[in-house]
């Protein structure tokens, strides 16, 4: 069947149309997205602004028309940290449901981690052993580890690249004092959960998903996305550490000129590399493999698993 997945993230809102069948890998058929940056529209005590709400409604209306044109039978919609943390999030989604008929499910941080873990497990299979999965989003960092399709532990921390950029940096490039302060904060936050994750056992295979990790791997020499999903891409700790110092001292424009970095994501990359570097260091990881599947694929797979006859 052809399904549409509507992903309402902190930075980007994305409609992914896939051909999906139980027991088969979901095959992307069409993609439509926009950088609405909803997290930047949280004002006055984390209230989503009218402008942000209008932008979201327009995107959903456009996405529904596109989905119909593409022959989509079912649209699954979910939202992550920006809507989850908006004090008027439920009110906004109720209004959207009334206007568009779309029922948006708000995922908790641990749910994001578990669904992303499911996608990574299906991509790499059982031979990968115990997985450690890391995902840096716009609003949060998700960490999950386990031997099965459901992780033993799933953690979400408020360490998204967009969130940290807005709250900690005041200039382009950020002053060294702010970089040091953010680095200390990030390492303290991650350090609190390392013991909870590793007590289940050391990972046989450490994996990263998300735009931030993909960009960092590309900067460090990984193959471009044009070479396809099946090309193996890795990010070593040595390469990341070298780039961590360079990226925080670059301007937005200088980062945007690097391979694989978009102008819209460049401002967040300094905070993103601080989180990535801290995570690899505190979990004592020499390298990460980049997985092309993440949260959206996890949502699709879970839906297929729950279909009658599964």
Separation between Cα atoms, residue 195 and residue 201, nearest integer Å? 10
Any domain includes 167: yes
Shared domain for 89 and 120, answered yes or no, is: no
Domains identified in the chain, total number: 2
pLDDT of the residue at 22? 84
- Non-local CB neighbours of 243 within 8 Å, separated by 6+ positions: 216, 219, 220, 273
**Where is the domain boundary, 56, 81, 106?**
106
Shared domain for 176 and 287, answered yes or no, is: yes
pLDDT band at 84 (very low <50, low <70, confident <90, very high): very high
Question: Each residue of 38-53: pLDDT tens digit?
Answer: 999 998 879 999 999 9
Shared domain for 122 and 245, answered yes or no, is: yes
CB contact at 8 A, 154 and 113:
yes
Any domain includes 232: yes
Any domain includes 304: no
**Where is the domain boundary, 45, 77, 106?**
106
Shared domain for 125 and 194, answered yes or no, is: yes
Separation between Cα atoms, residue 122 and residue 50, nearest integer Å? 39
Shared domain for 287 and 184, answered yes or no, is: yes
Separation between Cα atoms, residue 47 and residue 86, nearest integer Å? 5
Any domain includes 151: yes
With a cut of 70, say whether residue 72 has pLDDT above it.
Answer: yes
Shared domain for 201 and 80, answered yes or no, is: no
- Tell me the CA distances in angstroms from 263 to 57, 119, 193, one per residue in order: 25, 28, 33
pLDDT of the residue at 25? 87
With a cut of 50, say whether residue 166 has pLDDT above it.
Answer: yes
Any domain includes 305: no
Strand pairing category for 287-290 and 205-209: parallel
Residue for token pair 């549409």: 4
- Tell me the CA distances in angstroms from 137 to 164, 175, 185, 279, 297, one per residue in order: 11, 23, 17, 14, 15
Any domain includes 246: yes
| The model's pTM | 0.95
Any domain includes 238: yes
With a cut of 90, say whether residue 55 has pLDDT above it.
Answer: yes
Shared domain for 120 and 100, answered yes or no, is: no
pLDDT of the residue at 309? 54
Any domain includes 306: no
Round the CA-based radius of gyration of the chain to a whole number and report it.
19
CA 231 to chain centre: 20
Separation between Cα atoms, residue 41 and residue 57, nearest integer Å? 14
Shared domain for 130 and 267, answered yes or no, is: yes
**Where is the domain boundary, 58, 74, 106?**
106
With 0-12 CB in 10 A as exposed, 13-18 as middle and 19+ as buried, what is 302? middle
Q: What's the token pair of residue 284?
A: 């004592």
List the CATH number of the domain containing 92. 3.30.420.40
Shared domain for 130 and 204, answered yes or no, is: yes
Shared domain for 164 and 260, answered yes or no, is: yes
Shared domain for 48 and 169, answered yes or no, is: no
Residues facing 76 on adjacent strands: 5
Shared domain for 102 and 113, answered yes or no, is: no
List the CATH number of the domain containing 257. 3.30.420.150
pLDDT of the residue at 156? 97
Range of the domain at 21: 2-106
pLDDT over 90, % of the chain:
93
pLDDT band at 257 (very low <50, low <70, confident <90, very high): very high
């Amino acid at each position: 069947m052809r399904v549409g997945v509507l992903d309402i993230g902190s930075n980007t809102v994305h409609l992914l149309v896939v051909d999906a069948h139980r027991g088969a890998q979901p095959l992307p058929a069409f993609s439509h997205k926009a950088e609405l940056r909803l997290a930047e529209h949280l004002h006055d005590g984390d209230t989503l602004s009218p402008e942000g709400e209008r932008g979201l409604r327009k995107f959903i209306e456009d996405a529904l028309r596109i989905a119909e044109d593409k022959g989509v039978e079912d649209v699954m919609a979910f939202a992550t940290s920006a809507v989850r943390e908006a004090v008027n999030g439920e009110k906004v989604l109720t209004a959207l449901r009334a206007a568009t008929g779309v029922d948006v499910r708000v995922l908790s941080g641990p749910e994001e981690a578990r669904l992303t873990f499911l996608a990574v497990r299906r991509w790499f299979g059982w031979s990968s052993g115990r997985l450690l999965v890391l995902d840096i989003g716009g609003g949060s960092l998700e960490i999950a580890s386990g031997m099965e399709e459901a992780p033993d532990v799933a953690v979400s921390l408020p360490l998204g690249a967009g969130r940290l950029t807005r709250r900690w940096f005041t200039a382009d490039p950020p002053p060294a004092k702010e970089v040091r302060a953010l680095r200390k904060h990030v390492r303290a936050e991650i350090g609190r959960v390392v013991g909870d994750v590793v007590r289940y056992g050391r990972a046989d295979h450490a994996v990263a998903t998300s735009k931030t990790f993909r960009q960092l791997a590309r900067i460090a020499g990984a193959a471009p996305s044009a070479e396809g999903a099946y090309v193996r891409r890795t990010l070593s700790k040595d390469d990341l550490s070298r780039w961590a110092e360079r990226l925080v001292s670059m301007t937005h424009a200088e980062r945007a000129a690097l391979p694989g970095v978009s102008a819209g994501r460049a401002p967040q990359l300094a905070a993103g590399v601080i989180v990535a570097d801290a995570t690899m260091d505190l979990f004592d990881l020499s390298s990460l493999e980049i997985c092309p599947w993440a949260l959206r694929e996890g949502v699709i797979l879970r839906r297929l698993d729950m279909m009658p006859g599964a």
